[in-house]
Structure 1
Amino acid sequence: FVGWYLGDEKIEQLSDIHYTKEDTVKTLTAKWESYSLESLDELLNSLIPEHATEDITLPTTYSGYTLQWSSSHPLVISSNGKFNYAYEPTIVTLTAIITNLEHQVITRTYNITVPHKKPLNRPIASGYIWRNYNTVDDRFFQTLDIINTAFLTADANGNFSSTTALNDIYDYIFPKAKIHGNWVVFSIAPESKWSDIAISATKIENFANNIVDIINTHGFDGVDIDWETPSSGEQVRYSNMMKVIYDKVKANNPNHLVTTAITGGMWQPPMYNLSVSNAYLDYINVMTYSMSSSAGSYQNALYNRSGFHNPESRVGQTPTSVSIDASVPIFNSYGVPNSKLIFGLAFYGVRQARTFNTSTEAWGPWTATSPSAHYPEIIASYLNNPDYQYYFDDEAGVPYLLKKDGTVFLSYDDPKSIRLKAEYVKENDLGGLMFWEYGTDPTGTLLEAMRTHLSK
């Protein structure tokens, strides 16, 4: 404490204050010595790390000093110390402009290294998680570049009406993703009110703003749009919606991802106006699973085949274009490059069943049965069951199981088909592979095959 001052005059005692008859109030100011600059430096060095993984406290005042901060990379560490992971190797320089009581200006700079996300080098390893969040382990994070967390649901006005998945994402995904550098994207559910949103420019605007708000509030790295069934006549509405979403997400942070999920084959791609909307998508998650669930057809073929693999039981066929290989030129025809196409693996099996009519002595058609078979069930109840026979179709590049009495057909992916699909992706310089979904194979068997054959 220096003392009390009346203007620039130091007052030692009250008798030093002289009044005139015009005076009604005299205002005294208490003055203090500021701490030394060395003391300020010591404080700042204790607050600002050489390597940051969380928010940093950046003081704006200290004793008699004022500090004004700036950042070389404000999207990584802001001028108020807010931290976000970088998307490439980055050194952030924080600069403090320091002014003392004498209005002298001093500058201090601090160089900080920060962790960064995995580089999205092809082939990308991606996947969805919808259930069994609590079973994820290090292999999940080590394998995947992009984690699609499912689902948040949007209502007819473009507001998020269901966000319960956030609890699991906070508990089981974000902590490890920060360690391993995964890109964590939130997927918006197929049952969202897409048609209601897309018909209105006002609702689209609100929807896009809410997407950006979710990204910023929770720290996501982008959004995945799962409008899986647009109808004829909604193509332009889809591309109009995607443009607004893309523009707002990229304006907020150009590194954030905008992706979508579209079924493979010839029927769904025409519904998305891809010749236009392609410009507003970083990647397309091509759902080359559950592409067919009847007539003894594979749900997930790598290649189309001619006729049945098993003509006697009439199983093991591919309808026109229902394969990865047939889907590539379909998307290419709309101007979508191979580098944007991430093809799907089935971590589950689609079951079909048929019955024998003893009166007509004829088999009925193969039809889908619910629920799907998770991979652990496939191992325990089918592969290890003497009532079933395993086959691998080298022409189509996928396995299947057939009950020996001819009543059940199961189409799925296994480590061998994943190897073939990974080789295909690499040979054709495609974007990568993804899967639906982690909760259907918590054993990690199929994930390990993906990791091995994508060289992750």
Structure 2
Amino acid sequence: MPSRRIRFLSALLAMLALPACALAAQPAATSGAHYRVVAYDTAHHPIPAADVDRIDTLIFAFARPEDGRVTLAPAGRALLQQRIALKAAHPKLKVMVSVGGWSVGGFSEAAMTPESRQRFADSAAALLVETHADGLDVDWEYPGHHESGIASSPQDREHFTALLKTLRATLDRAGHGKHYLLTIAAADGPFVDGIDIAAVAPSLDWFNLMTYDFCNVMTPTTCNHTGLHASALAPADARTLARAVRQFLAAGVPPAKLVPGVAFYGREFADVDPAHHGMFQKYGHYQGGHDWPQLKADFINHDGYVRYWDAKAEAPYLWNEQTHRFITYDDPQSIAAKAAYVKAQHLGGLMYWEQGSDPDGELLKAVWQGLQ
């Protein structure tokens, strides 16, 4: 029986004897990369076991900053414990707590001084230790901004960096060897100018990029509210998932720390100017949001709502010629395109808002399958 060394040399000589074209045809080695599926969850619905197995990290929303501390009311703690209990049957699942959300203030004040930052961090660490959660997600919308009605300060940018550094150090001490995850929910474009992206990146495990709501009740026109790329009709400064990723990469964030978002809901606009099937047009009023089951049951190719596909943006939308109503949303086709983009750019995975908007798990399955 030939030795291992002889067998190795024989195989090497055989490979060298192959023509170049045959070598080129050999399959490339797989990288073995794992892409995260990150779910925001408001705990309105139980999660089927099959769905839990497709989620890497579940982020329970929301705790609140009150009097400078991270707090979670008893009812919220009970719901969080239901989610943490899932780990008994799904040991690979991570369950985090998100603090904040749109229009939730108290962050600027909590980040203002070394003492206030430490008080915030100590309360966050205590919450994670008490509940056996796996980490904290900070959803401050947004440092240096007050569009949502919260207090802000010109110093928010530097204070946010200091707050996250304090959180990282405090969570490391509290873990006693366990690594508590630390993430932030971040927007893009002008809404991230209050964050020193390069400075906060070392403190974070990843960024949850809120690459949705690009148009809403506060914007003057319709758009692809969660488009991957820019529509042919989009202005030069239009926000897209790909532009958000490029913005964070340009700031020096490693690709694997970027987890862009998918929307499990659509946004509807009424009295829309009819040019281009309502895309990037002025509208009379914002009609509201619709979760995925309602979109399927009542809107997509129903009652005059015709589905169109924006090939350049890689996003679907609905236009109702009779009522001049426009709906923008994500579906399995656009999610597949986003998953392919994540893999091509070697990003960290995909995040979505939110679990309760897809009770049958159809869109979650598209996220999971796309990232395999």
Task: Classify the TM-score, shorter chain.
Answer: 0.7 to 0.9
Determine which of 188, 192, 202 is the counterpart of 2:99.
Answer: 188
CA gap of 1:207–1:148, structure 2 versus 1, over 3 A, is same
RMSD value, Cα: 2.1
Measure how far apart 1:423 and its partner are: 0.6
Alpha-carbon distance between aligned partners in 1 of 2:70 and 2:339, rounded to the nearest angstrom: 38
Residue equivalent to 1:263: 187
Q: Which has the higher strand share?
A: 1
Residue equivalent to 1:344: 261
Alpha-carbon distance between aligned partners in 1 of 2:311 and 2:272, rounded to the nearest angstrom: 28
CA gap of 1:367–1:174, structure 2 versus 1, over 3 A, is farther
Aligned residues between the structures: 318
Give the TM-score taking structure 2 as reference length.
0.81
- Counterpart mapping for 1:22-171 below 5 A: 122-134=34-46, 136-160=47-71, 162=73, 164-171=75-82
Alpha-carbon distance between aligned partners in 1 of 2:226 and 2:286, rounded to the nearest angstrom: 17
CA gap of 1:175–1:445, structure 2 versus 1, over 3 A, is same
CA gap of 1:411–1:383, structure 2 versus 1, over 3 A, is same
Per-residue Cα deviation, 1:216-263 (whole angstroms, up to 9, x for no partner): 111011100000211144100110111100111122225210000001
Residue equivalent to 1:297: 223
CA gap of 1:319–1:406, structure 2 versus 1, over 3 A, is farther
Residue equivalent to 1:44: none
SS at match of 1:132: coil
Give the TM-score taking structure 1 as reference length.
0.66
Measure how far apart 1:352 and its partner are: 1.4
Alpha-carbon distance between aligned partners in 1 of 2:187 and 2:76, rounded to the nearest angstrom: 24
Asked whether the 8 Å contact 1:152–1:164 carries over to 2, the reply is no
CA gap of 1:285–1:303, structure 2 versus 1, over 3 A, is same
Asked whether the 8 Å contact 2:269–2:288 carries over to 1, the reply is no
Amino acid in the other structure paired with 2:181: L
Alpha-carbon distance between aligned partners in 2 of 1:343 and 1:139, rounded to the nearest angstrom: 23
Residue equivalent to 1:372: 289
CA gap of 1:156–1:349, structure 2 versus 1, over 3 A, is same
- Counterpart mapping for 1:301-312 below 5 A: 301-307=227-233
* Higher relative contact order, chain-length normalized (CA < 8 Å, sep 6+): 2
Structure 2: gaps (5+ residues): 1-31, 145-153, 275-280
Residue equivalent to 1:21: none
Instruction: Note if 1:281 corresponds to 2:204.
Output: yes
Amino acid in the other structure paired with 2:227: A
Per-residue Cα deviation, 1:93-130 (whole angstroms, up to 9, x for no partner): xxxxxxxxxxxxxxxxxxxxxxxxxxx95311111011
Instruction: Note if 1:250 corresponds to 2:172.
Output: yes
Q: Which has the higher helix share?
A: 2
CA gap of 1:296–1:319, structure 2 versus 1, over 3 A, is farther
Residue equivalent to 1:238: 160
Structure 1: gaps (5+ residues): 1-119, 308-316, 358-363
Per-residue Cα deviation, 1:363-399 (whole angstroms, up to 9, x for no partner): x922562531111110111015131110111110110
Residue equivalent to 2:195: 272
SS at match of 1:422: helix
Alpha-carbon distance between aligned partners in 2 of 1:285 and 1:367, rounded to the nearest angstrom: 32
Residue equivalent to 2:330: 413
Residue equivalent to 1:442: 359
Asked whether the 8 Å contact 1:230–1:272 carries over to 2, the reply is yes
Structure with the greater alpha carbon radius of gyration: 1
Alpha-carbon distance between aligned partners in 2 of 1:305 and 1:233, rounded to the nearest angstrom: 36
Amino acid in the other structure paired with 2:200: S
CA gap of 1:368–1:290, structure 2 versus 1, over 3 A, is farther
Measure how far apart 1:356 and its partner are: 7.2
Residue equivalent to 1:222: 135
Alpha-carbon distance between aligned partners in 2 of 1:208 and 1:263, rounded to the nearest angstrom: 23
CA gap of 1:417–1:199, structure 2 versus 1, over 3 A, is same
SS at match of 1:328: helix
Per-residue Cα deviation, 1:334-353 (whole angstroms, up to 9, x for no partner): 21111100010000001112
Asked whether the 8 Å contact 1:423–1:453 carries over to 2, the reply is yes
Residue equivalent to 2:312: 395
SS at match of 2:53: helix
Alpha-carbon distance between aligned partners in 1 of 2:237 and 2:284, rounded to the nearest angstrom: 18
Alpha-carbon distance between aligned partners in 2 of 1:332 and 1:356, rounded to the nearest angstrom: 36
